[in-house]
Amino acid sequence: MEEVSLVAETGRPSGTRPARRLRALGKVPAVLYGHGTDTISLTVDARDLRSALTGEAGLNALITLRVDGGQHLAMARHLQRHPVKGTVDHVGQGLAERRAS
């Protein structure tokens, strides 16, 4: 199965207004969660996310998230799309495996 790599940034503010500002800058708010780990609020680049989810594997693509020097293998579990445009407004990524490197 194809693995796609994305760079994610931590420390995003929560709320409607900050999320709208992120989307205007070409970023997508995201959440990384999984069993035995804390939930991490992230932002990913919208173009990179779109290319990752429209590849050969589609929405089932394994995504390697590079966050603060660490790597996490995840899948897009929950996508929230804009009702008219169809763009991704928010993504929840379930942790598939934690990588130490």
| The CATH number of the domain covering residues in 3-99 | 2.40.240.10
Q: Tell me how long the chain is.
A: 101
The pLDDT tens digits of the residues spanning 30-80 come to 888 887 778 888 899 999 988 888 878 888 888 888 988 888 888 888 888
Residue 94 pLDDT: 74
Is the Cα torsion angle 45, 71, 76, 90 positive or negative in sign?
A: negative
The pLDDT tens digits of the residues spanning 15-43 come to 889 989 999 999 999 888 887 778 888 89
Please, which pLDDT band fits residue 13 given cuts at 50, 70 and 90?
confident
Whether residue 96 contacts residue 36, with contact meaning beta carbons closer than 8 Å, is answered with no
Kindly tell me if the per-residue pLDDT of 93 is higher than 80: no
Locate the domains of the chain by residue range.
3-99
DSSP state at residue 32: E
What is the spatial distance between Cα 11 and Cα 71, in angstroms, rounded to a whole number? 17
- Distance, C-alpha 82 to centroid of its chain: 16
